[in-house]
Amino acid sequence: MPLLYTIGKLTVGPAMRLAFRPTVEGLEHIPERGGAIFAGNHLSVADELFLGTVVPRHLAFWAKSEYFKGTGVKGRFSKFILTGLGAIPVERAGGRAALAAFDAAIPALKGGDLVVVYPEGTRSPDGRLYRGRTGAVRLAIAAGVPIIPVGMIGTEKVQPIGARVPRPFTGKITVRFGKPLDFTGRPDDRQSLRQMTDEMMGEIQKLTGQEYVPRYAPPRGHPPVTGEADAG
């Protein structure tokens, strides 16, 4: 476990538990050793904090590559913190550049680490659960590891979009872990990946009880769209 992550577990973790008293269900589904992917809904920036607080092992989060490229004191500090926490940089623009995140995550998973992925690709703008992207399933098949569904409940109340830090006593937090999903050995063609991803999102929905929207979440700053789902 990286040193900064260990320090955080010993300091930030207990403070988060004391201030928010999160309820945790399904911890028995987290393997004591070996690699796995945590795939969860994404309501708030606080999701990472609470997940890191309740999971006893190290979690490698994907972080926007911009955080690793900043200049000046703030940029260097951001890079130092994220590198020290074992975060994996990812290019949000997609394409070939985004594959670098896969290149970094696969050896980490095969080496026994836990990687966190948010299949919706962005925070939910309205508390609903949106269609998942296939990256988590593709990564699980490539690394030969299971996916553990994660359901976060209440984080959007303690740290809504725009809030800088979580606010104690503003809501109850529940973190639920589902049974591991094993997709190893399954076909990885486009149709199969879509089917497995929909299956994974269905398990996440069971944990959260969110209304499901069969289309991708809109980018930040764009209002949710109503109507028929995207094809494919």
Tell me the per-residue pLDDT of 14-61, one tens digit each, with 9 for 90 and over.
Answer: 999 999 999 999 999 999 999 999 999 999 999 999 999 999 999 998
Helical ranges in 31-176 per DSSP H? 46-54, 72-85, 95-110, 135-143, 155-158
Of the candidates 10, 22, 61, 59, the residue with the CA atom closest to the CA atom of residue 166: 22
Computed over every residue of the chain, the mean pLDDT equals: 88
Quickly count: other Cβ atoms within 10 Å of residue 82's Cβ. 18
128 contacts 212 by C-beta, under 8 angstroms: yes
- Ordered by start, the domain boundaries in the chain are 3-213
Over residues 123-147, the mean pLDDT reads 95
**CA pair distance 182, 141, nearest whole angstrom:** 9
| Number of Cα atoms under 13 Å in the Cβ half of residue 3 | 2
Distance CA 58, CA 183 (A): 23
Is 182:149 a contact under the CB 8 Å cutoff?
no
Q: 166: how many CB neighbours lie within 10 A of its CB?
A: 21
CATH class of the structural domain 3-213: alpha beta
Average pLDDT over residues 92-117: 80
- In the numeric block, which tokens belong to residue 104? 């970094």
User: Span 59-85, mean pLDDT?
Assistant: 82
Name the residue with higher pLDDT: 170 or 109: 109
pLDDT (0 to 100) of residue 95:
55
CA distance 123 to 138: 21
Query: Which tokens belong to 182?
Result: 């094993």
pLDDT band of residue 92 (cuts 50, 70, 90) is low
Residues 6+ apart with CB under 8 A from 205: 129, 212
